[in-house]
Amino acid sequence: MDAFYCFCFAPACLASDLRFDDCGWEDPIEIRRLAGLDVILSRVPLGRFAGAEAEQRLADLEWLVPRAQAHDRVITRTMERSTVFPLTFATLFSSLPALALEVAARRRALLDFFERMAGREEWAVKVSMDRERVIATRMQSLYPEGGDVPAGGRGYLLKQRRRGEAEQAIGPWLKGQIGCLDEALRPSCETLLIRPLRDEMVASRACLVARDLGPSLSEAIERSREAFADQGLDLHCSGPWPLYSFCGTP
């Protein structure tokens, strides 16, 4: 049994010469016009993404990652031609009529989304921390005379106490640094969202940016990156991405 895998919705304006052959997706991809909107979709075996065996595959990163990357490449390719409403990985519909009904039910909200988001991009800004470097800079800030410690056990205990105080100071200091970053980013962003933290990140932001303000955002990020580097913080920026953080559920 087959299903229709949907990548994204777009206004009814996509040219027929839009191609996805080099995106890494294993099945043919097509553009269908349904309920007055364009839908990027692929006919796939249902069992690939649904069912007990599919659950095991979806838990296998070697299987999942290249397909998730291909999913994003298809959406990014469509973004080159139009504003898009991205759908999450493995969004399936049982039939074209079922998909058409879904598009028709959401059509008004989708058209509003396309109007509001025209010419906008999503950029990701994340901050990671080298904890040992940060502790060292906090100790230097708290105790500029740090070298003046007695020798032996007494000196060791003093260093440990100072290290503990420096570690306790990281939280308030880091909050202030991230606040400064937010203030630096806001002038270039229409919306700045706090995103959940993953891996070793200490801050994660999604920036909704008008394309003509992209250079301004890049300049703000570079200034902050230079300031952060001396403090043991690393600033990471990537994009443009599909508007996942700002699409909600029309």
Please, where in the chain does CATH 3.30.70 lie? 120-247
What are the helix (H) ranges across 45-151?
Answer: 52-58, 61-79, 96-117, 131-142
**Letter string b/e over residues 60-77, b meaning 16 or more CB atoms within 10 A of that residue's CB:** eeeeeeebeebbbbbbbb
Neighbours of 221 (CB within 10 A): 20
pTM value is: 0.80
Cα(213)–Cα(198) distance, rounded to whole angstroms? Answer: 27
pLDDT tens column, 230-242: 888 999 999 888 8
CATH fold of 120-247:
Alpha-Beta Plaits (3.30.70)
Task: Taking residues 41-59, report their average pLDDT.
Answer: 92
pLDDT tens column, 142-200: 777 655 655 556 656 766 677 777 788 788 989 999 999 999 999 999 999 999 998 78
Query: Half-sphere exposure of residue 216, counting CA atoms within 13 Å on the CB side?
Result: 14
For residue 61, pLDDT over 80 is answered with yes
Task: Taking residues 137-143, report their average pLDDT.
Answer: 77
Cα(104)–Cα(97) distance, rounded to whole angstroms? Answer: 10
Q: Residues for the chain: how many in total?
A: 250
- CA 169-174-180 angle, to 5 degrees, is 135
pLDDT at 204: 96
